[in-house]
Homo-oligomer: A and B are copies of this chain.
Amino acid sequence: MNVSQRARDIQASPIRKLKPHADRAKARGVKIFHLNIGDPDIPAPRPVLDTFRNWSQPVLSYGPAQGFLELREAVARYFGNYGIPLCADDILITLGGSEAIHFTFSVVADVGDEIIIPEPYYTNYNGYASFAGVRIVPLPLSVEDGFRLPPAEALEARITSRTRAILLCSPNNPTGTVYTPEEIEGVVGLVKKHGLFLIGDEVYKEFVYDGLRHKSILEYEDIRDRAVVVDSISKRYSCCGARIGMIVTRNKDLYAAALKFAQARLCPPSVEQMAALAAYSMPMDYFRGIREEYDKRREILYQGLKEIPGIVIHKPQGAFYVIVRLPVKDIEHFAVWMLEEFSLDGRTVMIAPAPGFYSTPCLGTDEARLAYVVNEHDLREAVRVFRAGLTKYQGLFP
């Protein structure tokens, strides 16, 4: 009577495995600056919170498996504001972006099939690939050139008879890179040539800086039937705990297949869907203030870090993360040391070691992901504490 082999095989969350060390630091009274996780501190829009406060229905009933029509219509209007005409039936509401990824992997690929993803990539793709029995084929990118996509031939060399899809996350978690139209077009060409699906993770699309514009894979008319976007309100509206995401696709077969999976789990949470409806009813200029706030923080983190000797950093263009290379041999050891051994004025910094974002063994062992979702003042302090910790660590472990 043992648990299943797959349960033994599945990777424990690499982001969460530092938690016991953080708990011990807190128990010692050390304040931790959390640059390790992308949990927004910016309040959710007022109408979202008002949805809860004004809730009057006495029964929390099951809703439709694909989500409430009003919400799907509001999401369609939101895409319309980006020049992407959609109807409500192109949108399937899911239990967070997580479920959108799970369903999409399961619907585009069978057990043993392959999905190509540039790495480093969002670690939870691994969990859902395990669930679905799908193999992720990583395409390694590099901090030296800002994690740009390689020429199409390098990507094409990874396509096999088992390849079913390519996944692009832009703006990227964990790198902060925003792919250019040229980069995306190269991938679109491959998708057409080899008869693949293109999965777009576009949850950070409002968080793009330097006057850049996010280009959605849904804008490419010649892959209308091949494009599927996994999306979420978590970051866009500071609603991580609401667990509302969605699959967006104009491929009717793909939608119908995902709907069958959705029916098995009945429906998304009803009150939270109405909160999401309030969020999607916000005017589009709501994002301007949020973007400006994250942009300021980006500058603070980038300017602070790039002055640290021995660090390799590219300026992130989107989302609220950056991957940096540090002058250390073992990033996991450094991350634990920062929590267990170091503090400055009773404070330390928690980072996310990059190996969890790579599936190619031995990559990212001197890299970390830092998130800028703490306020300006704390972020300045965090950079100061981080620099002091790194300097001390280098002295101890040269």
Interface residues of A (CB under 8 A from B): 1-8, 10-13, 16, 37, 39-44, 48-49, 52-55, 58-63, 65, 95-96, 98-99, 102, 106-111, 113, 124, 126-128, 130-131, 133, 164, 195-197, 225-226, 238-243, 253-254, 257-258, 260-261, 263-272
Contacts and interface: CB of A to CB of B under 8 A. Distances in A.
A91 B60 CA distance: 23
Nearest to A97: B266
Contact of A267 (B60, B243, B258, B269): B243
A63 B226 CA distance: 35
Contacts of A124: 264-266
A264 B13 contact: yes
Given A4-B113, A7-B257, A242-B60, A52 B49 contact: no
Residue from A96, A98, A102, A243 whose CB has the most chain B CB atoms within 10 Å: A243
A267 B269 CA distance: 13
A238 B59 contact: yes
Contacts of A41: 59
A62 to B, nearest CB: 5
Contact of A7 (B2, B106, B133): B106
A257 B243 CA distance: 22
A58 B45 CA distance: 8
Contact of A238 (B7, B60, B108): B60
Contact of A98 (B39, B52, B266): B266
Nearest to A45: B58
Contact of A3 (B195, B253, B270): B253
A267 B241 contact: yes
A144 to B, nearest CB: 31
A3 B254 contact: yes
A260 B53 CA distance: 34
A190 to B, nearest CB: 13
A8 to B, nearest CB: 7
A62 B241 contact: yes
Listed from nearest, the 10 A-B pairs whose CB atoms lie closest are: A127-B264, A241-B270, A7-B257, A43-B58, A60-B241, A13-B263, A52-B55, A98-B265, A3-B257, A243-B269
Nearest to A55: B52
Contacts of A59: 40-44, 238, 241
Contacts of A8: 257
B266 A269 contact: no
A201 to B, nearest CB: 15
Nearest to A125: B264
B53 A55 contact: yes
Contact of A108 (B4, B241, B261, B268): B4
A294 to B, nearest CB: 15
Contact of A196 (B1, B6, B268): B1
A68 to B, nearest CB: 10
A226 B265 contact: no
Contacts of A5: 110
A371 B266 CA distance: 17
Given A1-B225, A111-B111, A62 B240 contact: yes
A261 B44 contact: no
B107 A3 contact: yes
Given A3-B107, A241-B270, A263 B127 contact: yes
Contacts of A40: 59
A226 B1 CA distance: 8
Given A55-B52, A196-B1, A131 B95 contact: no
